[in-house]
Amino acid sequence: MGDLAGKNGLIVGVANKRSLAWAIARAADEAGARLTLSYATERFEANARKLADTLATPPQLVACDVTNDAAVAELYRQVDETHGGLDFLVHAVAFASREAISAPFLETSRADFAQSLDISAYSLVALARGAAPLMERRGGGSVVTLTYLGSERVFPHYNVMGVAKAALEATVRYLANDLGPLNIRVNAVSAGPIKTLAASGIPEFSRILQHYRESAPLGRTVDADEVAAAACFLLGPGGRGVTGEVLMVDGGYHATGM
């Protein structure tokens, strides 16, 4: 049995087999967790169901648009009904409109800015608030979100998503402070670039991948399984002393100057 044996986990953000949420779901399943997987809309249900069937322990599947408070409440009602409490939450959700990542950042509209921050950063607040009482009943818990170095540095076309990731990382620290007394830890994994559905919307993404291959100390990009392994470390007993942290999983790219 693995590190997450007997643990109940909720993983939000499964779109398809390339999703980082799905890589984390596979790793958590292998580590013995009982899971609820959540996807944005019915459009992703068939995909999620096909993937779910391949796990060792069949997960519960729930649709949830994270911008809808009633949907978030219903998600936690179902998690509690099925699992009776929660030990970990993985937040792997982000969105920026095509216009917002195509045009210069200066042109970002108020509506695109608000939508991106709502889906990509505020949703962590809403999901952590829903998780807290279920985790408190289990004596504590662990929350992990996914971020990117575009929060601190400028990357081509990352634009409003960089601002959203900066807000997300600050959110991690404030939530860690509020939830620490309940023995709930809150951390982020900052992943290097990986070709997923969300990433494929970023123009010139392959140029970013190539730049990492040329510059990262490991001389390569990372894959989804490496991100999942780091997330499971933070979710499990190995991470029990870690909270408010952004863990870089990018082949060391962030450490380089040139």
Q: Any idea which residues carry the catalytic annotation?
A: 148, 158
Question: Is the CB of 65 or the CB of 136 nearer to ligand NAD?
Answer: 65
- Applying CB under 6 A, which of residues 24, 62, 86, 93 lies at the interface with ligand NAD? 93
Task: Answer yes or no: are the C-beta atoms of 107 and 206 closer than 8 Å.
Answer: no
- Residues from 189 through 248 that contact ligand NAD (CB under 6 A): 191, 193-194, 196-199
Total binding residues toward ligand NAD, as defined by CB under 6 A = 26
Task: Answer yes or no: are the C-beta atoms of 124 and 172 closer than 8 Å.
Answer: yes
Question: Is the CB of 15 or the CB of 247 nearer to ligand NAD?
Answer: 15
User: Quick check: 111 binds ligand NAD (CB under 6 A)?
Assistant: no
Cα distance between residue 104 and residue 160, in whole Å: 10
- Considering the complex, what minimum distance in angstroms separates the CB of residue 209 from ligand NAD? 9
Cα distance between residue 112 and residue 72, in whole Å: 22
Question: Is the CB of 5 or the CB of 255 nearer to ligand NAD?
Answer: 255
What DSSP character marks residue 53? T
User: Which string of x and - marks every residue 150-189 that binds ligand NAD (by CB under 6 A)?
Assistant: ----------------------------------------
Alpha carbon separation from 103 to 17, 26, 114, 129, 154 (Å, rounded)? 29, 36, 16, 34, 14
Cα distance between residue 136 and residue 92, in whole Å: 22
- Applying CB under 6 A, which of residues 11, 15, 24, 132 lies at the interface with ligand NAD? 15
User: Quick check: 100 binds ligand NAD (CB under 6 A)?
Assistant: no
Choices 19-27, 53-61, 81-89, 130-138 (CB under 6 A): range interacting with ligand NAD: 19-27
Cα distance between residue 185 and residue 235, in whole Å: 9
Task: Answer yes or no: are the C-beta atoms of 77 and 133 closer than 8 Å.
Answer: no
Where on the phi/psi map is residue 216: left (φ > 0), alpha (ψ -120 to 50), or beta? beta
User: Quick check: 67 binds ligand NAD (CB under 6 A)?
Assistant: yes
- Applying CB under 6 A, which of residues 76, 88, 95, 233 lies at the interface with ligand NAD? 95
